[in-house]
């Protein structure tokens, strides 16, 4: 169990005398506890970091893709409903836990429930898996941005085969942007079973991506937070520029109409509910530990409830803004494709790509017809780069902060851990830069995070709502915020969120079992995509990814049970911390603690040395465990 370091005598007297720490909006964050623990320079820096992490490629590409596939406006309404009843309460729970305990995910869940200490380790594992393939997407953005500094753009027209002096057949059968993506950028094989050699261009880009991340993270939040001022704000500037430019295109209004037109019949489809819940889950970054890590650098009395509502609102509005941009562009693209298809074949044939294809195929095709196309292309992929990096910084914090806190690393050791993690990420990431690497990116995106993260959040909710107790948790939050959150959170955490997560887990497992894991491959000879089943070794790899990420939870529980059996009962009860049953506590107010006699102060100080049953290390009110005799006397007084 992790005990919080006590404050020195000067700080303790100040806290006990004032009973609270005031923080004015916009002022610098003052480090309240944990001696050498880093802190945010300002509130705006913290908000930008949380927004930068939660608003990523999933908001800009996956959300519009799901809207297009699942009924437009009807999917948005379903998403808002799930965001309010599931997303915001769980997001608030993680913010409050991290801010009050001031530790990374490992320390937080070990503090709340030692038997479920493995939750934090599972979060770290999932963050590492996500970081592996997420940085590959950043590498793709770097490659495309580097190729944008030429006119005409290399994906604007099909190349000519030197041998036949004719257009390359693969490009002629698809499109210039599709050919450039699959053949020039990825140089992809026909299936995952054909590995192929390393793609040298992507290997260099991946090295550059990990170098950028390493340099930005090397000084912790002190260095990454400075980058956030640009990486979190710049994408919004670009999105508004693209929206204004897109509204001038022919077919833009048709795209917006399609986006908002509600097809309410999709609400009867269980898979649509599953996709909406999954998108809420990933959009807010629940279960990664990054939300907890960022909030742990806040002052204890920061209004984390307001932060939860604000970040969730910004997250949703960003998804809507990005959807407007995407549907405006797709409206223009669909109208042009329709005209070409009618002229050539006499009918309309429009295929909507996977969300990665939406960014690297659909958008590149539209930008190629813009005047000054290199400028728009550079701007677009610079936006993708910043979106990816801001999320990547949060993901890395979800790995590094818990490990640094748990193993008490500081100074040079922190730097070595950061550099070593990035170097290991690059070496393993070479799996994704071989010619079949895109298929492994799809595998990791579909299976390495979804199920393990849902399992992590289920155990997080059980830990807070059923083991620690929602009333106790709300008591601690009340001490932090100086007002009590609405009681509705108690029932949302205990029942609604937990049942929703269990339902999402069941739906995902059933779909995986009955439909079977598949992936989309590019066939070079037919110049088209086809759906293939994973081979046996790839299925084993998927199972291993899920098991390795989820295994720390049961291992931690078994380790805690074995450890408790070896410790004498009396000692075990004294060290139980968060596993303590309902005890009797007497309140020591600030005045009483300072004015009482020496013996009473000694009792309170002795109690401070024990593992605390509350989340807060020290608050405006102190609690002291009564002896058995005093308990009986207090019970008699209560009865009388």
Annotated binding site for Na(+): 52, 55, 59, 315, 387
Which tokens sit at 68?
A: 């297009």
- Angle formed by the axes of helices 412-429 and 200-217, nearest 10°: 160
| Binding-site residue positions | 52, 55, 59, 315, 387
Report whether 138 contacts 69 (CB < 8 A): no
Alpha carbons 108 and 290: distance in angstroms, whole number: 12
The DSSP annotation for 388-409 comes to HHHHHHHHHHHHHHHHHHHTT-
Alpha carbons 559 and 322: distance in angstroms, whole number: 46
592: Cβ contacts below 8 Å, ≥ 6 apart: 600
Which tokens sit at 15?
A: 């806290």
- Exposed/middle/buried for 282, CB within 10 Å: 0-12, 13-18, 19+? buried
Report which DSSP code applies to 434.
B
Instruction: Specify the 3-state DSSP secondary structure of 161.
Output: strand
Tell me the C-alpha to C-alpha distance, in Å, between residue 559 and each of 371, 452, 553: 64, 20, 10
Report whether 444 contacts 126 (CB < 8 A): no
Report whether 623 contacts 586 (CB < 8 A): yes
450: Cβ contacts below 8 Å, ≥ 6 apart: 278, 508
Q: Find the DSSP H helices in 147-289.
A: 169-172, 176-179, 200-217, 221-231, 234-246, 252-260, 270-283
Report whether 537 contacts 191 (CB < 8 A): no
Instruction: Specify the 3-state DSSP secondary structure of 50.
Output: helix
- Angle formed by the axes of helices 118-146 and 373-406, nearest 10°: 160
Helix (H) or strand (E) holding 340: helix 304-344
Q: Is the sign of the CA dihedral 401, 405, 406, 407 positive or negative?
A: positive
Tell me the C-alpha to C-alpha distance, in Å, between residue 595 and each of 82, 588, 590, 592, 600: 51, 11, 9, 5, 10
- Angle formed by the axes of helices 73-82 and 304-344, nearest 10°: 160
Chain centroid to CA 428: 21
């Amino acid at each position: 169990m992790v005990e919080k370091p006590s404050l020195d005598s000067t700080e303790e007297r100040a806290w006990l005398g004032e009973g609270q720490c005031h923080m004015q909006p916009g002022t610098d964050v003052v480090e309240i506890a944990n001696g050498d623990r880093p802190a945010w320079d300002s509130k705006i820096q913290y908000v930008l970091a949380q927004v930068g992490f939660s608003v990523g490629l999933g908001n800009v590409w996956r959300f519009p893709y799901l809207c297009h596939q699942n009924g437009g406006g009807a999917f948005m309404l379903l998403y808002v409903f799930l965001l309010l009843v599931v997303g915001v309460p769980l997001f608030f729970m993680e913010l409050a836990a991290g801010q009050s305990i001031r530790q990374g995910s490992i320390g937080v869940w070990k503090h709340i429930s030692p038997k479920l200490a493995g939750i934090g380790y599972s979060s770290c594992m999932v963050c590492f898996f996500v970081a592996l393939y997420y940085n590959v997407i950043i590498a793709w953005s770097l490659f495309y941005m580097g190729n944008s500094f030429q006119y005409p753009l290399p994906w604007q027209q099909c190349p000519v085969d030197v041998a036949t002096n004719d257009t390359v057949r693969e490009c002629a059968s698809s499109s210039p942007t599709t050919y450039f993506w699959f053949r020039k950028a990825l140089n992809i094989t026909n299936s995952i079973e054909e590995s192929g050699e390393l793609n040298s261009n992507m290997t260099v880009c991946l090295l550059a991506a990990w170098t950028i991340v390493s340099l930005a993270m090397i000084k912790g939040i002190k260095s990454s937070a400075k980058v956030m001022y640009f990486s979190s704000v710049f994408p919004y500037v670009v999105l508004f520029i693209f929206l204004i430019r897109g509204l001038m295109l022919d077919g833009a209004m048709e795209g917006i109409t399609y986006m908002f037109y509600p097809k309410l019949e999709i609400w009867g489809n269980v898979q649509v509910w599953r996709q909406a819940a999954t998108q809420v889950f990933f959009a807010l970054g629940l279960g990664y530990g990054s939300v907890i890590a960022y909030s742990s650098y806040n002052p204890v009395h920061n209004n984390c409830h307001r932060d939860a509502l604000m970040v969730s609102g910004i997250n949703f509005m960003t998804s809507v803004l990005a959807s407007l941009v995407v549907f405006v562009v797709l409206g223009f693209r669909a109208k042009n494709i329709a005209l070409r298809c009618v002229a050539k074949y006499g009918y309309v044939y429009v295929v909507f790509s996977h969300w990665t294809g939406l960014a690297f195929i659909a958008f590149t095709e539209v930008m190629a017809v813009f005047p000054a196309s290199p400028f728009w292309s550079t701007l677009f992929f610079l936006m993708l780069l910043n979106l990816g990096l801001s999320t990547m910084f949060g993901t890395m914090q979800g790995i590094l902060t818990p490990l640094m806190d748990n193993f008490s690393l500081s100074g040079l050791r922190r730097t070595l851990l950061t550099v070593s993690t990035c170097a290991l990420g690059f070496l393993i990431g070479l799996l994704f830069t071989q010619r079949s690497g895109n298929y492994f990116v799809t595998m990791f995106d579909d299976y390495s995070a979804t199920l393990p993260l849902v399992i992590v959040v289920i155990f997080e909710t059980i830990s807070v709502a059923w083991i620690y107790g929602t009333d106790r948790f709300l008591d601690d939050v009340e001490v932090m915020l100086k007002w009590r959150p609405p009681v509705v959170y108690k029932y949302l955490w205990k029942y609604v969120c937990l049942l929703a997560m269990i339902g999402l887990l069941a739906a995902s497992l059933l779909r995986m079992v009955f439909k079977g894991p598949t992936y989309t491959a590019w066939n070079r000879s037919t110049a088209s995509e086809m759906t293939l089943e994973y081979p046996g070794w790839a299925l084993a790899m998927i199972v291993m990814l899920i098991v390795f990420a989820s295994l720390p939870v049961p291992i931690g529980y078994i380790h805690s049970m074995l450890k408790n059996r070896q410790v004498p009962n009396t000692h075990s009860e004294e060290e139980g911390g968060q596993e303590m049953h309902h005890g009797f506590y007497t309140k020591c107010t600030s005045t009483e603690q300072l004015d009482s006699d020496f013996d009473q102060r000694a009792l309170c100080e002795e109690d401070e040395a024990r593992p605390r049953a509350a989340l807060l290390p020290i608050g405006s009110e102190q609690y002291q465990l009564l002896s058995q005799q005093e308990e009986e006397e207090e019970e008699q007084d209560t009865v009388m």
